[in-house]
Chain A
Amino acid sequence: MTTVEALPSAPSGRGRQRALPDKWYRGMLGVVALLFGALAIWFLVAIIIQARPAFSTLGFSWIVGKVWNPTHNQFGLLPFILGTIESTAIAVVLAVPIGLGTAIALAFLVPSRVRPALSTTVELLAAVPSVVYGLWGLIVLAPLFREHVEPFLTSVLGWTGLFNGPDRGVGLLLAGVILAIMILPTMVAISRDVLIVVPTEQVEGAMALGATRSQVLRKVVVPGARTGILGAFTLATGRALGETVAVAMVIGNAPFIAHSLKSSAATLPSLIVNNFGESTGTELSALFGAGLVLLVIGILVNALARWLVWSTGADAAGAELGR
């Protein structure tokens, strides 16, 4: 055994001198990460503290109060919670079948030459700002709904009682439709991504057994991607719940519980954005409280969505970025 004379020392050029020792480098990254964590905690604490006066002066029952009338010190949130849930429900009912069908068509049916272009287009549409959808809904879709869609639906489905009242154009139905259009791209982009990662062997196996294309889709592909699709839908639901301006522009902003799909209504976000400028004291705190309620709903829905998409192994973050 000959002794090794000396290992060549690390190059001592400029790069070496500028480089931070590993400990400092890790420390710096840790500090920045800690800053981010602190920011998140600050965010949560600030909103809770500001909402507290509403809870302490009004008790917890104000959350389910039916009347919003600041001049009489009534700050019931129920109409807005219901409005949020109803508009989101309309959007989801419309967007889920259409989104799933579109994702399947994009993943398997469209000729492979136009597939990348179409998929990119869908992802790009997810980036269109919501205020643009709101403008289109208010100026173009609302008159169309007032003159044609609502009279038609009333004449066909009036017996259900869902379409009572005058045709206004703006209202719950239009808000739901606009939300459905807005969340479609996200939904399609993510579900397409989880559909195409279903193992080819399974698809080919089913084909070899003589299954038709729709049988393969129904029994192999969609069940295989089920959790991911569910996650995509939940993610889109979260977006619909929190959407502010597009909904505020087309829902009519009436602080009442809607009697029909044509009624004007309001959601938690639209309540906040419409009343923020001129409120003080308890009303302002009640608005912060409304924000807190929305935040809790939003975090729950989102955490569920992340967990669902994660568990399939698909990269939700990547697909989501298309927004």
Chain B
Amino acid sequence: MTSLLETPADPAVERRQAVQAAANSSLGRRKLASKVTLGVCWLFLFIAVVPLVAVIAYVIAKGLPAWNADFFTQSTKPEGYSPSGVWNAIVGTAVITLIATVVAIPVGLLCGLFLAESEDRAAAVLRFTADVMTGIPSIIVGIFGYIAIVRNFGGYSGFAGAFAIGFIMLPVIIRAGETAFRGVPNSLNEAALALGARRSTVARKVVVPTALPGVITGVLLAVARGLGETAPLLLTIFGNQYLQWNPSKPMEALPILIYNYSSQPYADLIQVAWGAALLLMAVVLVLSIGSRLVAAYLRKERR
């Protein structure tokens, strides 16, 4: 025993001691560096949160005073005329988004189902296309809407806007749908197939119901995204200061109204723009939060 203690020439022990000495001597410095780094992270969190909170706070503070009965029931009027509101823009946004959603949901979900059930090269190409399409600058989609619809089908119209918005929503729905459908356990599919069900029955009765929470989340988020798009609408629906329910005619929309009024030199028009911004932001946030709640509720229900 004693002989073991008396042999100091064990290289492993020596090295361990050297390492410990180095670690101990640098401990203070390392702790300080750690504190500084983490402090910087906290600082950046603060810097990031301030403007984001400021945007929300300003929109609420400036937009809320613009909300009154006329705001929601009257159409836009030139500066100095009353009663004026944004009813025509609300109608336009609602009609355009509705048309875009109604078309994009079935097409997008069927494509998502196709991608979820396919592994070949064609599917990979399509998946990559959808991914890249989610990142295409929206102004270019507006150009496409102009070329494809406005030029060929009688000028600026709500339909052209719906086409552009639908084009933007489509890849989002496809990828969200695919992700949700892929999440369905394979055992469920196989059980249904083993019972003699056809693939379409499996899709309708097993895959879609099981994937519903994810599908709803994806669709609502796509709608929220479509609602806020401005640039494509500027190139396709043109804007209309009068109330227009007919989507084959030029329409007004909330984002366009905000964009146009923001550069006006009149305080009351800018006030209307803030009101419209608050309305748009509220709807988008309600859809985003709603999608999470619906998904959470459906998941809980199932357990």
**A residues at B contact (CB < 8 Å):** 10-11, 15-16, 19-22, 24-26, 28-30, 32-33, 35-37, 39-40, 42-43, 46-47, 50, 97-102, 104-106, 109-110, 120, 122-125, 127-136, 138-140, 181, 184-185, 188, 210, 212-215, 217-218, 235, 238-239, 241-245, 249, 269, 272-273, 276, 287-288, 291, 294-295, 298-299, 301-303, 305-306, 315-318, 320-323
Contact = CB atoms under 8 A, between A and B. Distances in A.
Task: Select the residue from B137, B146, B174, B274 with max chain A CB neighbours within 10 A.
Answer: B137
Given A36-B126, A101-B45, A140 B58 contact: yes
Nearest to A95: B48
Interface of B: 23, 30-31, 33-38, 40-45, 47-49, 51-52, 54-56, 58-59, 62, 107, 110-111, 113-115, 117, 122-123, 125-126, 128-144, 146-148, 167, 170, 172, 174-176, 179, 196-201, 203-205, 217-218, 221, 224-225, 227-231, 234-235, 255, 258-259, 262-263, 270, 273-274, 277, 280-281, 284-285, 288-289, 292
B258 A132 contact: yes
13 contacts: A10-B197, A22-B200, A28-B110, A29-B113, A101-B43, A124-B288, A128-B281, A132-B55, A213-B37, A239-B135, A249-B262, A294-B139, A321-B176
A138 B110 contact: no
Nearest to A249: B262
A306 B224 CA distance: 22
A133 B55 contact: yes
B136 A242 contact: yes
A118 B54 CA distance: 16
Determine the main DSSP class of B at the interface with A. Answer: helix
Nearest to A177: B51
Given A244-B138, A245-B230, A302-B134, 17 more contacts: A25-B200, A26-B117, A28-B110, A30-B114, A99-B48, A102-B44, A102-B49, A129-B284, A132-B55, A135-B59, A136-B58, A181-B55, A242-B135, A242-B140, A245-B234, A273-B231, A303-B128
Contact of B277 (A30, A135, A318): A135
B179 to A, nearest CB: 6
Secondary structure at chain A's binding surface: helix, strand, loop or mixed?
Answer: helix
Given A134-B259, A318-B179, A244 B230 contact: yes
B103 to A, nearest CB: 11
A321 B33 contact: no
A221 to B, nearest CB: 12
A272 to B, nearest CB: 5
A40 B34 CA distance: 50
A43 B132 CA distance: 13
Contacts of A303: 128, 132
A200 B279 CA distance: 43
Contact of A272 (B135, B139, B148, B197): B139
Q: Which 5 interchain pairs have the tightest Cβ spacing?
A: A242-B137, A129-B228, A101-B44, A302-B135, A214-B37
